[in-house]
Amino acid sequence: MDDHSFLTKPVFGLDIIAKSALLTDRLKELSVHHYECCVSYKKILKAMDFNIDTVTDYHNIPFLPVRLFKQHELLSIEKDQIIKSMTSSGTTGQQVSKIFLDRTTAKLQTKVLAKIVESYVGKSRLPMIILDSSSVVKDRAMFSARGAGILGFSMFGRDKVYALDENMALDFEALEAFLERHKGKEILLFGFTFMIWQYFYKFLKETDHCIDLSNGILIHGGGWKKLEGQSVSQEKFKEELKNVCGIKKIHDYYGMVEQTGSVFMECEHGYLHSSTFGDVIIRRAFDFSVADFGEEGIIQVLSVIPESYPGHSLLTEDKGVLLGEDSCPCGRKGKFFKVTGRLKNAEIRGCSDTYVPQF
Amino acid sequence: MLRLEVVAIPMYLNSKIQLMAGNDKFSEMPALKPLVPFDDSVIRFLDELSGLLIKHPQGRDFPEIITFGFYVRKSSITRLKRSYEDLKSNVGRGVSFHIAPSNVPINFAYSLLVGLLSGNACIVRLSSKELTLTNILCDILSTLLDMPKFSELKEYVSLIKYEQDTEINSFFSSICDLRIIWGGDNTVKELRKSPLPPRSFDITFADRYSFCLIRAAEYLNIKDKRKMAFNFYNDTYLFDQNACTSPRLIFWVGDLENIRKAKEIFWHALHELLIEKKYLVQPMMAVDKYSLSCDVALDYENVALPIAPDNLISRIELESLQSDLPERTCAGGSFFEYSDQVPDKLSNFVSRKFQTLTYIGFKRDELVEYFANLEMVGLDRIVPCGKASEFSLVWDGYDLIRHMSRVVSFE
């Protein structure tokens, strides 16, 4: 468990064979660890009559439904080892996931995230604009996914400035001063897809304010669900942002609070990539078998990170398509894929209405 | 012919209501004279309706239209009437206001049927969803009701649609003598926001729980296992296991060896049928079923999740029957299994929420005797496997015809 030498492997440099071996070893090791340390995990594997020793390929390691973290507090550590807990960003009334970190897992998250992000923005720390309000990270007792994301990515920047004030209005003066200070330099920007669109893009679009971010690299995540309602596609998002501030390098990332650190970042060709430290498997709804390239299915995510909670293999409620492995023109090894949306609620017959407002 | 002062529906509410068939003068319905149960005019109307439904060109796509068509035939209604020969001095209660569920489109027709048969004027609020089957039936009903020979009966029927609106609910609630609420707990809760006149009351169809009792040894003796699988399918997958009558728990009775054998054959036969019927596992359904399995394995002790070839059937074997089991439900083919030598554990397990028990390998009379002695707070119907969703005038513990009519007593 304490052997983290896998961290020395190149983050996007292992081919399918080397990566498979690494993942099988590490994920098997994590499964055994959680089996021994997390009663809940053990109960589920026992119910499935699953024997971890028989695993020769990480594809066969069971996955937990991500929903389980909303219904239960799943831990593989003693409570006094918790240094941080994080929650997913659910809207009011929704149940949120609760994830508990110890020192080791928190450190692994940071290291893995750093390796992934470096591949996109380089090793040196860039001046950084956070496209959000500083109020999001003020309450440190309980990290929301948004706060955790901001703090996680803040490590890669320096001289940080928050672009939005407490009322989510653009702090134009602060931004202008910042850009003046760093004229001609590369700038890192980070934010959540919806927030960027709603509060940053729309402000620039609707007012005659101009800022030049043609030297910027934007990393954004959090999902497209809210923007789909406004018919904003990935392409439109990029194009419109470029129109209002000249930014050309824009990278979406796919990740979830249950697997903080091992995010999947979008490359220069518009595809999400799995690194050496995580993986996606697209599964068929009919039998959870592994889907072919190009076949849409349910996304399973795997991560070498989680030691403090059994989150190393999760079945999400997102759908996606695997586009290839080791062959992306961007040069990064590993799988590349697209997320095609959230799973729709099942359409069900029967006499108990599933959705009240339409009874 | 007005009997009462009329409370008119405000214009701004009226404009939100779409009439699908029948009478649009809702406000005048309380002035109508109630009919007697099984009124001749109603039986004549239903028989004519039956004729149109049985040979409807879209019956192939919607077999429930045909089933309903046969159910309302004169011969069928006359047979049903026999159980009510004693209702010589009953009349309808007046205006019945029905809230039909959105997920079983045909249901509104049965609700209308009992409303009319018991002698009431019927305002039926249909689901605001666009449903082909609802539209087909409304077209037929509308055409029939507009015929001169049914002009009198037309006054007794209003099939309407409106978006969920508490004010409209309140208006209809204020003029009705009876409110029939389908659609489960949440719909009941929503409608209870609208008060009823002092003498009016609700007939509510709340969320219910149903299960299946199988005697393993007898099941093994049944010759036609495929037929039995088909029966079980009709009770469950036909409605995505989401009808209140769909069993969610299988209680196996017998010795372990027989149960083991019976399970193997039973689930295999069902699986074959599902493959043949091309039952579609929707992605979210697969995730829901899997999540429930994990959730239960985690919360209960010694749960077993048998390995399955695919996600068509999700089985959860239990070591004990926990009281919160009825809260843990999932549509689309997720079954709990519990085994015992005798069914005695049921008496403590069955709660108010329990509705239908289907059975395989028991005789009706032995179950009647067995359950009569248990004095349970729940369980309204005990029917052979395959008949769970068959409509009956006695439903959810209500004898609907008696309940929806008024007894005039003479001494």
With CA atoms as reference, report the closest residue to A153 among A181, A178, A131.
A131
Calculate mean pLDDT across residues A21-33: 97
**How confident is residue A93, by pLDDT bands cut at 50, 70 and 90?**
low
| Rounded Cα–Cα distance for residues A5 and A108 (Å) | 11
Nearest C-alpha in A relative to B126: A359
| Amino acid, single-letter form, for residue A243 | N
Which residue among B99, B242, B285 places its CB closest to the CB of A352?
B242
**How confident is residue A284, by pLDDT bands cut at 50, 70 and 90?**
very high
Report DSSP state, residue A170: B
CATH code matching the domain that covers A110-254, chosen among 3.30.450, 1.20.1280, 3.40.50, 2.60.40? 3.40.50
Query: Which DSSP helix (H) or strand (E) runs through B98?
Result: strand B95-99
Cα-based distances in Å from B167 to A45, A128, B10, B62, B202: 52, 53, 10, 34, 18
**Angle of CA points A250, A256, A260, to nearest 5°:** 90
Subunit contact B207:A352, Cβ cutoff 8 A: yes
Alpha carbon of B373: minimum distance to chain A alpha carbons (Å): 31
Beta bridge partners of B317: B304, B337
More confident residue, A148 or A3: A3
| Non-local CB neighbours of A110 within 8 Å, separated by 6+ positions | A152, A155, A261
| Amino acid, single-letter form, for residue B411 | E
With CA atoms as reference, report the closest residue to A334 among A280, A269, A295.
A280
Helix and strand element counts for chain B (H, E): 16, 16
A48 touching chain B per CB within 8 A: yes
Q: What is the pLDDT of residue B177?
A: 97
Work out how many CB contacts closer than 8 A connect A with B.
147
| Rounded Cα–Cα distance for residues A52 and B267 (Å) | 27
Residue A355, pLDDT above cutoff 50:
no
Q: Domains plus CATH for chain B?
A: 11-205+401-407 (3.40.605.10), 209-384 (3.40.309.10)
CA A44, chain centre distance (Å): 26
**How confident is residue A228, by pLDDT bands cut at 50, 70 and 90?**
confident
Residue A81, pLDDT above cutoff 70:
yes
Query: Helix, strand, or coil here: B166?
Result: helix
Tens-digit pLDDT profile for residues B167-199? 999 999 999 999 999 988 999 999 999 999 999
| Rounded Cα–Cα distance for residues A238 and B239 (Å) | 44
Query: Helix, strand, or coil here: B152?
Result: helix
Alpha carbon of B79: minimum distance to chain A alpha carbons (Å): 27
- Residue of B204, B237, B284, B315 to mutate when probing chain A, most A C-beta within 10 A: B284
Tens-digit pLDDT profile for residues A99-145? 999 999 999 999 999 999 999 999 999 999 999 988 877 765 556 77
Token pair in block for residue A279: 């993986």
Alpha carbon of A359: minimum distance to chain B alpha carbons (Å): 6
Q: What is the mean pLDDT of chain B?
A: 93
Q: What is the pLDDT of residue A90?
A: 59
Report DSSP state, residue A187: E
Q: What is the pLDDT of residue A139?
A: 62
| Cα-trace Rg, chain A | 21
| Amino acid, single-letter form, for residue A188 | L
With CA atoms as reference, report the closest residue to B348 among A216, B227, B46, B340.
B340
Subunit contact A352:B239, Cβ cutoff 8 A: no
Query: Helix, strand, or coil here: A66?
Result: coil
Calculate mean pLDDT across residues B152-178: 96
Q: What is the pLDDT of residue B103?
A: 73
Return the percent helix, strand and coil in chain B, to nearest 5.
45, 20, 40
Token pair in block for residue B329: 């439900």
Token pair in block for residue A250: 């824009």
Residue B1, pLDDT above cutoff 70:
no
With CA atoms as reference, report the closest residue to B118 among B203, B175, B49.
B203
Q: What is the mean pLDDT of chain A?
A: 90
Subunit contact B239:A351, Cβ cutoff 8 A: yes
Subunit contact B290:A357, Cβ cutoff 8 A: no
Q: What is the pLDDT of residue A40?
A: 97
| A11-15, A173-177, B118-122: range with lowest mean pLDDT | A173-177
Q: What is the pLDDT of residue A91?
A: 54
With contacts defined as CB-CB under 8 Å, which chain A residues touch B103?
A: 348-354
Q: What is the pLDDT of residue B137?
A: 95
Nearest C-alpha in B relative to A320: B283
**How confident is residue A226, by pLDDT bands cut at 50, 70 and 90?**
confident
Q: What is the dihedral of CA A150, A154, A160, A166, to 10 degrees?
A: 10
Residue written as tokens 């030691």? A307
Report DSSP state, residue A317: E
With contacts defined as CB-CB under 8 Å, which chain A residues touch B129?
A: 358
| Rounded Cα–Cα distance for residues B209 and B350 (Å) | 9
Subunit contact B283:A40, Cβ cutoff 8 A: no
CA B60, chain centre distance (Å): 22
For the ranges A255-259, B5-9, B145-149, B240-244, the one whose mean pLDDT is highest: B145-149
Q: In chain A, where are the structural domains located?
A: 5-77+270-342, 110-254
With contacts defined as CB-CB under 8 Å, which chain A residues touch B127?
A: 358-359
Tens-digit pLDDT profile for residues B72-109? 999 999 999 999 999 989 999 999 999 998 777 888 99
Subunit contact A285:B294, Cβ cutoff 8 A: no
Which residue among A64, A285, A351 places its CB closest to the CB of B243?
A351
End-to-end alpha-carbon separation of chain A, Å? 52
Q: What's the ipTM?
A: 0.93
